[in-house]
Amino acid sequence: MAETRLSGVAVSPGRARGPVVRVAEPLGEPPRTPAPADPAADAARIGPAAAAVAQRLEDLAAAAQGEAADILFTTAAMANDPGLVGEAERLVTVEGLPAPRAVYDAAGGFARSLAAAGGYLAERVRDIQDVRDRIVAELLGVSPPGVPELDSPSVLVARDLAPADTAGLEPAKVLALVTEQGGPTSHTAILARALGIPAVVAVRGLLELDAEALLVDGDTGVVEPADPRAPVVTADRQAGAEWNGVGETADGHRVRILANVGSVADARAAADAGAEGVGLFRTEFCYLDAPSEPSADEQRAAYAAILAPFAGKPVVVRTLDAGADKPLAFLAPDPEPNPALGVRGLRVARERPEVLDRQLAAIAAAAAESGAEVSVMAPMVATAEEAAWFAGRVRAAGIARAGVMIEIPAAALAAREILEVTDFVSVGTNDLAQYTFAADRQLGAVAALNDPWQPALLRLIALVGEAARATGKPAGVCGEAAADPRLARVLTGLGITSLSMNAAAIRSVGASLAEVGFADCEAAARGALTGKR
């Protein structure tokens, strides 16, 4: 047995040891020849194959919950996308490609366009590749790639995992996930946390590692060979079961434990998990599939349904986070050479303030209907002047509390000035890391730079914490970093006053804070700022 010790990015906490099961590699490129004898008949096979794949994904989604269900339904919609199917049919009938190759090439074009767009759309490249492989397998009459049937608890090893594969895992049979690609905000990472499975991604050299068993540390990112004869070690997925539901340290320092939601299922799961409120309600989910701007009544109804489980509790609603990297038909964005740095978030609202005003009116109406204590914040804010403009718009709509996201290093550096014109701020660690390190958060090769434990990122968050203390106003964290129970202590020590995360992490984060005093959190923060975990 090789004694190689590898490391990657820890994305879901816990330690586990057990036998390795390798996930099959995706299908290779289908051949371009021979040309079909009857192109029309071959093209006619594509639609039913795509529909069959979509139906299987929808069936998986119906059996899943929360984020897993949302991701599976989205992937199913991609499989049935008329644009994908239509382009593949054209490649058969016009260019004479066999149906499997036509699907492969059509999906490749879609994937390149998504990757070039950056941001949210770039995150969907793995999804379209998964859909491609499933449709190609359907056309070839072979089993699709993915996770094999597990006979006993095992450590899954893969180049990467498709969202549908991860969402369909049985936690009782998966000790840990380890991938050579991926990043801290990939679907593999998000769903592993939601399922309570220890996971490490971006482990270079993983597929060359010859080991029958692995020890996986989802806290430190270390992956090393283990004795295959040693007993299986299952991660403790019940951590946090004794949490009393109040976010505070052992000596009573208050830190609200909140949830990130984007659907009714998310909101219900968060309420059931004991969330003290919502720190990030992503409203763009109400827009992304809409061919035109939803009406005020449609928006109100959608928002009210998600707010309902939190009557009497605080909910922070983020206004539409759209733009060049999340193009919406009714906004008609102009092409941009670098969408990640273009007109998105609040920048769209300033160009189209009537869209923002209609959304704010709908949020205010939904707040009154639901009884939730609603605050509103804007994404992609860079300056205090932008923050003041937004706050004025929010208050004019009859909403009492206005805040902004800290996702750009400039905003972290200007946090005190921003807090002087708003009521609160919330740090989006995913984008803040991406912009701080100039590292695409979906690119495995630079995943280590997007690790939320990076000292440079924590120093920016410390500036936000200092500004919050100086102004006497709250500062939250709503990026995936908040879901790490150990990092939650560091963030608390940096002056963060609320932590917002996926529902599955709520109890473990609450319990982690309850075990230590505030002085311990401050000591952990001092160490983390110098690179010590």
The residue annotated as part of the active site, out of 187, 253, 286, 521, is 187
- Using alpha carbons only, give the angle 359, 360, 364 rounded to the nearest 5 degrees: 120
- Length of the chain, please? 533
Angle (CA) 466-470-471 rounded to 5° is 120
Q: Are 175 and 17 in contact (CB under 8 A)?
A: yes
* 3-state secondary structure (DSSP) of residue 191: helix
Pairing of strands 498-501, 256-261: parallel
HSE-up (13 A, CA, CB side) for residue 441: 26
Give the Cα separation of 409 and 403 in Å (integer).
Answer: 17
The reply to whether 521 belongs to the active site is: no
What's the order of all strands across the beta sheet hosting 9-12? 6-7, 222-225, 213-217, 15-22, 154-158, 174-179, 199-201, 9-12
Helix boundaries (H) for 64-153: 66-79, 82-93, 99-117, 119-122, 125-140
- Per the DSSP assignment, residues forming a β-bridge with 12 are 199
Find the catalytic residue in 253, 286, 478, 521: 478
Written as one letter, the residue type at 59 is: D
Question: 159, 136 in Cβ contact below 8 A?
Answer: no
Residue type for position 160:
D
Which two three-digit tokens encode residue 55?
Answer: 């139906």
Q: Determine the Cα–Cα distance for residues 477 and 111; give it in Å rounded to an integer.
A: 31
Catalytic annotation present for 286: no
CB atoms within 10 A of CB 123: 19
Residues with active-site annotation = 187, 478
